[in-house]
Structure 1
Amino acid sequence: MYEKIYLALTLLILTISHATAQNAPSDKIVGTWLSEEKDVKIEIYKSGDKYFRKLIWGKTMYEADGKTSKKDVKNKNEKLRSRNLKDLIMLKDFEYNDGVWDGGEIYDTYSGKTYSCTMKLEKGKLNIRGYIGISLLGRTALGKS
């Protein structure tokens, strides 16, 4: 009898802590985002305590047949050029620190280059800033959920 009560209480605590964790400020970026130009859709997800972004749709990510994913042909690493653009991890290893997701990198499929990056939510928009060296010398892209 006590075992059943203990099990029920444990499940209740786990359910509450899981629901609370998903409502944490750090998880506000988790989900699907559409670029302002509406030509790219990405998914941001959490793995462990880090955040990642993958490309799930883009107007120019398919071959002429509309079904075959284009490849990562501009990648500096020749071994990675056969990767599909669909579901390609483009942002990786971000950690949440006081309203900013930083410490990660962004991969640019157009140039094949990887940059330092920060992300910040501002008025419901996701501000993604890739840069070289210091963030003052970078580019910002905004996405809408």
Structure 2
Amino acid sequence: MKSRLSAAFAAVLGLSAPAAALAQNAEAAFGTWLVENRNAIVRISPCGDKACGNIVWLAEPRDASGAAKLDFRNEDPALQSRPICGMAMIGDFTRGSDGRWSDGFIYNPEEGKTYKSNMHVREDGALYVRGYVGVSLFGKSQTWTRVPDDQGGC
């Protein structure tokens, strides 16, 4: 009887440890991240009870004329004159009980389109970001790498 109780207790501990790790990983999403193609850095921070992120660094922040790159591909004409640097790239993420972030959005300035998105920090410390249309099955994933906070800005 005692060994069964010990085994049951160990099983419960074994199941709760990953859940606790994921919950901690939700907070690990906050910080600065180099996107997969290495042309931008996004700072993710809490926005009330949600998570959001703005572009804080661009590999090429200026166009050929030396002016700040603008969001000219945006589907909304009213937003086409805003600078890419500093704009919100992700937002409205809700923290799940499993420590993952879901029901957010990700904006792709290269296409001028916004997608639904989910994200979580993987065991290796990288940020897994998935943007999709409709359901997560129809989408694209990226792996972002944590970088030091001070990258010199845009």
The percentage of aligned residue pairs carrying the same residue is 34
Unaligned runs of 5+ in 1: 1-22
Q: Which residue of 1 aligns with 2:95?
A: 96
Is the contact made by 2:24 and 2:99 (CA closer than 8 Å) also made in structure 1?
no
Q: Hey, what does 2:14 align to over in structure 1?
A: none
Alpha-carbon spacing, 1:86–1:75, altered in 2? closer, same or farther (3 Å): same
Displacement of 1:35 after TM fit?
Answer: 2.6
Tell me the distance in 2 between the aligned counterparts of 1:45 and 1:77: 26
Matches within 5 A, 1:102-113: 102-113=102-113
Structure 2's unaligned 5+ residue stretches are 1-22, 147-154
CA distance in 2, matches of 1:76, 1:63: 20
Q: Secondary structure at the match of 1:27?
A: helix
Give the AA of the match of 2:81.
Answer: S
Higher relative contact order (CA 8 A, sep 6+): 2
Could you tell me how far apart the structure 2 residues matched to 1:113 and 1:37 are?
A: 17
TM-aligned CA deviation for residue 36 of structure 1: 4.1
Q: Distance in 2 between matches of 1:26 and 1:121?
A: 7
Give the Cα separation in 1 of the matches to 2:104 and 2:116. Answer: 6
CA-based RMSD: 1.8
2:78 counterpart SS class: helix
In 2, Cα distance between the equivalents of 1:124 and 1:56? Answer: 20
Instruction: Give the count of matched residue pairs.
Output: 122
With structure 2 as the length reference, what TM-score do the two structures score? Answer: 0.73
Q: Give, as a single letter, the amino acid of the residue that structure 2 aligns with 1:27.
A: E
**Higher normalized strand content (fraction of residues):** 1
Q: CA deviation at 1:99?
A: 2.3
Q: What residue in structure 1 maps to residue 131 of structure 2?
A: 130
**2:118 — aligned with what?**
118
